Structure 1
Amino acid sequence: MPESAAPTAGAAPWSEAQFVKTFRCDSPDPWPGPRIAIPVDVYTGITFPSDGLPGPVLSLKANSPRPVGTMLNVTEYNIRTTVKWRNLRTGRTGTVVTPTRANRVIWNAVIHPGAGPVRLSVRQKIGAMAFVPMVNPQYRTCGTTATAR
């Protein structure tokens, strides 16, 4: 009886994203409460971005947990984040819009500006989910620059 080779599994190689920077994009809270601290992390060098398109990409991830003692299970947010970008080397521009609904301010945007320095402008619209979406919307615009690799 011939000996058969053991089956092998193939998978995409693991690639670690390179952290670029964190910038703040704090916003007023549409619910009664203090201002929401929103750190936005920027990553580059992602071999396999979440949207499945080829790189180079910049990934922006915002995550702002509610402070302890607030009504975490009762409050919900609707977030509409618009990221406008411009590659300063090529002049290429684009816009990515990410709608989100969660019990804290959290969003993720993946942009494909091509390699080089990129100017980013982030506009957040954060509203309370109170029987209908976007009650008492609060707006915040912030920006930074990063280099896509």
Structure 2
Amino acid sequence: MTAAPLRVHRLDARAVLPRRARDGDFGYDLCALEAVELAPGARAQVRTGIAIALPPGHAGLVLPRSGLAARHGIALVNAPGLIDEGYRGEVQVLLLNTDRDEGYAIAAGDRIAQLVLVEPATPEVEEVDALDATARGAGGFGSTGYG
């Protein structure tokens, strides 16, 4: 069965269309439309110059690029960013420079994030008087005793 296409509308002639670097990759690279300077600790809303129409029943997750994070401390402010199926505006990426000493320059066309398509479950919400018991129970942050 062939998947429905990810339809992309270029809002600016300079925009780079999303692409997967290799066969088998799930993430589509998102590229900056314009140059941006990220001072140490600064954040920026970076335009991609594209709008998308996700396949029916899908959502898009905007995720950080591991190389940018590892080498330069560039993260996403709201990782992952969520794109709902009905959104038709410009895809923008909220970048954060976590480095305290070094700025980072983004050039037009640089790969700044990746887009992963998912088929989320959307069951009806049902209010109940109590939840089923589990071995974990309400144990949360630090409950396993590790890290």
**Shorter chain as normaliser: what TM range?**
0.3 to 0.5
Instruction: Report which structure shows greater RCO (CA 8 Å, sep ≥6).
Output: 2
Q: Which has the higher helix share?
A: 2
TM-score by length of 2: 0.38
Q: Which has the higher strand share?
A: 1
